[in-house]
Amino acid sequence: MAEFTMELNDEQKEVRDWLHGFAADVIRPAAAEWDEREETPWPVIQEAAKVGIYSLDFYAQQYFDSTGLGIPMAMEELFWGDAGIALSIVGTGLAAVGVLANGTEEQIGTWIPQMYGDANDVKVAAFCSSEPDAGSDVASMRTRAVYDEAKDEWVLNGTKTWATNGGIANVHVVVAVVDPDLGSKGHASFIVPPGTPGLGQGQKFKKHGIRASHTAEVVLDDVRVPGSCLLGGKEKLDERLARARERARAGGERVKNAAMATFEASRPAVGAMAVGTARAAYEVALDYAVTREQFGRPIIDNQGVAFQLADMRTSIDAARLLVWRASWMAINGKPFTAAEGSMSKLFASETAKKVTAQAIQILGGNGYTREYPVERMHRDAAIYTIFEGTSEIQRLVIARTLAGGVAIR
């Protein structure tokens, strides 16, 4: 087990500074343009691919960093640059993790390279779980996957929504119901390969923030994928379903809601994104407060402004510490007995919303315009309290761990 320390090691500092340089020189200058265009920033993704930031190798290196701080550090720096562009860069990683976590070695080797493409021809991937009637309540999912034994194919039908990179992805990872009686235990994940007939993009959403990240519905109409596209394989699925049916028959373990438990380990990463946005807004506000003069002195000379900045900085540091704790616990296999992953995401995302609003206030009229980046950061920050489990769902998860078996609804 790696020794606990609050300090990044030299290698991590080097990676952090490299990422910060990319965020400052490439991402931040492009942020306003792609926010206005509301389009995927392909040239920026390509730049990231050229320098090695947009690649499985980079993601895997950070993921397997033995201190657990590789991913949170990377997320903080990239999202400090700009949340919408950074999500376009790391969105593929969410789908790739789905394959890494559940796929066979062959599936990992076949599909993950196709998710990223290469620097001359970059591709993206999408993870499609949410549906119009199954957001927080993942167990209500309706997209069905039916096995056609004669052809060894799975047939997928349904509508997915809110999919980051949905419809423009080269590879889609789709979660579908294989046994409706088992709630979320009856779900399985499938690869939908490039160009598969029947998969189409529904509406593309016009969003409040993270507008450089593409979000759309994905419609699956008799989509046929080979048996080899079931992540983990049929044998493993059959065993898992048999165990779940056995438990259900025995009236045992309540079927858990996947949205509440499955994402626990990925939540600190979202917390780190929120820390990046909050830190970015805080820095702009601090800079403004020391240079803007009113009543013959910098506005930071007013305790009312300085105390706001003190609170902003304190909350950001507290959020980062919760994120680092959860990330350290995850890499060291410590169970989240008090939902520490959810705590980090809840606190960091609420902090980002609050700090970005305070930054607008400190910039006064300028803060409210698109001449300055804080209004964009505030719009962007709102997503953190919604995706990968809303703040209410995080509180629910935390409360349940505290209540010792009392069914809190």
Ligand X SMILES: Cc1cc2nc3c(=O)[nH]c(=O)nc-3n(C[C@H](O)[C@H](O)[C@H](O)COP(=O)(O)OP(=O)(O)OC[C@H]3O[C@@H](n4cnc5c(N)ncnc54)[C@H](O)[C@@H]3O)c2cc1C
Instruction: State the residues that interact with ligand X by CB under 6 A.
Output: 127-130, 135-136, 162-164, 207, 210, 215, 383, 386-388, 390, 392-393, 396
Question: Tokens 């039908």 identify what position?
Answer: 157
Q: Which residues are catalytic?
A: 388
| Cβ nearer to ligand X, comparing 272 with 312 | 272
Number of H helices, E strands in the chain: 15, 11
| Cβ nearer to ligand X, comparing 78 with 331 | 78
C-alpha–C-alpha distance, residues 343 and 336, integer Å: 10
Tokens matching residue 247: 């438990």
| Cβ nearer to ligand X, comparing 207 with 234 | 207
Tokens matching residue 143: 């997209």
C-alpha–C-alpha distance, residues 85 and 396, integer Å: 31
| Cβ nearer to ligand X, comparing 81 with 135 | 135
Chain residue at closest Cβ approach to ligand X: 135
What beta strand segments (E) does 149-234 contain?
A: 153-164, 171-177, 187-192, 199-204, 215-226
Greatest Cα-to-Cα distance within the chain, rounded to the nearest angstrom: 82
Q: Find residue 145's DSSP bridge partners.
A: 156
Q: Report DSSP letters for 111-162, one per residue.
A: HHHHHHEETTEE--EEEE--BTTBSS-GGG---EEEEEGGGTEEEEEEEEEE
Instruction: Please report how close the Cβ of residue 118 comes to ligand X at its closest, in angstroms.
Output: 23
| Cβ nearer to ligand X, comparing 288 with 347 | 347
C-alpha–C-alpha distance, residues 211 and 73, integer Å: 23
Q: How many other C-beta atoms lie within 10 A of the C-beta of residue 303?
A: 9
227 in the Ramachandran plot: left (φ > 0), alpha (ψ -120 to 50) or beta?
Answer: alpha
Q: Report DSSP letters for 364-399, one per residue.
A: HHHHTSTTSTHHHHHHHHGGGGTTTS-HHHHHHHHH
| Cβ nearer to ligand X, comparing 160 with 320 | 160
Instruction: Please report how close the Cβ of residue 388 comes to ligand X at its closest, in angstroms.
Output: 6
| Cβ nearer to ligand X, comparing 174 with 248 | 174
Query: Torsion angle, CA of 325/338/263/58, rounded to 10 degrees?
Result: 10
DSSP H/E element including 210: none
CA angle 208/352/164 to nearest 5° reads: 45
C-alpha–C-alpha distance, residues 192 and 279, integer Å: 38
Tokens matching residue 39: 């389009």
Instruction: Please report how close the Cβ of residue 253 comes to ligand X at its closest, in angstroms.
Output: 20
